[in-house]
Amino acid sequence: MIIDMPDTTTRDINKRLLQEREEGGAVALGRVLTLIIDVGPNDPEEAIEAANEASHEHPCRIVVLVERPDERSAVLDAQIRLGGDAGASEVVVLRASGDVLSHLDTLVMPLLLPDAPIVAWWPHDVPENPSEHPFGRMAQRRITDASQCDDPGATLRRLAAVYADGDTDLAWTRATLWRGLIAATLDQPPFQPVQRAVVVGESTHPSVDLMAAWLAEALRCPVEIERVPGAPAITQVRLQRASGDIVLDRPDGKTAALRQPDQPEHRIALPIRQLRECLVEELRRLDADEVYGEVLQNGLARIDA
């Protein structure tokens, strides 16, 4: 069900949500969090689709803010999506312009679920300081995506300078499977120190930087980045040890080959993670990701040095 509410207020939107819940029998207590999505002036549909899919694991109320910079008058148009149009969630799309955008926190407050955690997500432009953004100040978790910025590397360094507990970036989430495979490999004998590590990947992909920063922080060894224009994200990680190299190689973005000394080659399904998978993973935890904070603040400094 899709309900359009042109030139409205958040109070009227909330009343309509209550009315639909009473008439349709929807149970508000089934929502475990409020997800605020700030898409700026961009098309919100891709983010809404990913959030709807993630809501099957994390039922939530989704509040989407779309800015209309071409409209100068203070207008708020809304659209409510329920049932099959909203996955396992309630979706409220706010299209705001003019002075309405000057008070983002009070704009969404009437739509927050009571006593439920709040997650803020910026799928496109990254705020200068996520934790000081009006949405970031009210959220327990703040999700950015440096890969969508013009200069992902510079964005990561800026995020490192303003990091606060609860911050995370989907570039970090996209490298989760790589980190898990590398950690599992190093947990097996021979337990030798890594003398040098190399990360190969797309020249501007922020997951390449975060993977290298994680290795530098965890292994305390020199880490080199080989940047390949047009490569499918991370394509290879090489760890040099006295007994021989460990190589995790994924040239096609789909299947990886793990090669170790004196062992047969292992083939592992390792496709590039989709937006929905990354969002689901980030919504599983509402506490601070301490490892991400250490890698962002200390690991990046190590590889830059």
Complete DSSP assignment for 104-163: HHHHHGGGSPTT--EEEE-SSSPPSSGGGSHHHHH-SEEEE-GGGSSSHHHHHHHHHHT-
On whether both 129 and 230 belong to a single domain, the answer is no
On whether both 150 and 164 belong to a single domain, the answer is yes
> β-strands 223-228, 196-202: how paired?
parallel
Q: What is the pLDDT of residue 86?
A: 66
On whether both 156 and 195 belong to a single domain, the answer is no
On whether both 102 and 190 belong to a single domain, the answer is no
Q: What is the pLDDT of residue 25?
A: 57
Of 137, 169, 201, which residue is a domain's last? 169
Residues in the chain predicted with pLDDT less than 70, given as ranges, are: 24-30, 85-86, 88
Q: Could you give the CA distance from residue 63 to residue 108 in angstroms, rounded to a whole number?
A: 8
Max alpha carbon distance in the chain (Å)? Answer: 70
Q: How many domains does the chain have?
A: 2
On whether both 273 and 261 belong to a single domain, the answer is yes
DSSP type of residue 187: T
| pTM summary value | 0.94
The residue length of the chain stands at 305
Structure confidence by residue, pLDDT tens digits, 5-44:
999 999 999 999 988 878 765 544 468 899 999 999 999 9
Of 169, 186, 220, which residue is a domain's last? 169
Q: What is the pLDDT of residue 27?
A: 46
Of 134, 153, 169, which residue is a domain's last? 169
On whether both 164 and 185 belong to a single domain, the answer is no
On whether both 133 and 228 belong to a single domain, the answer is no
Q: What is the pLDDT of residue 28?
A: 46
On whether both 126 and 270 belong to a single domain, the answer is no
DSSP type of residue 298: I
Q: Could you give the CA distance from residue 69 to residue 96 in angstroms, rounded to a whole number?
A: 9
Question: Taking a C-beta distance cutoff of 8 angstroms, is the pair 97, 67 a contact?
Answer: yes
- Boundaries of domain holding 300: 170-305
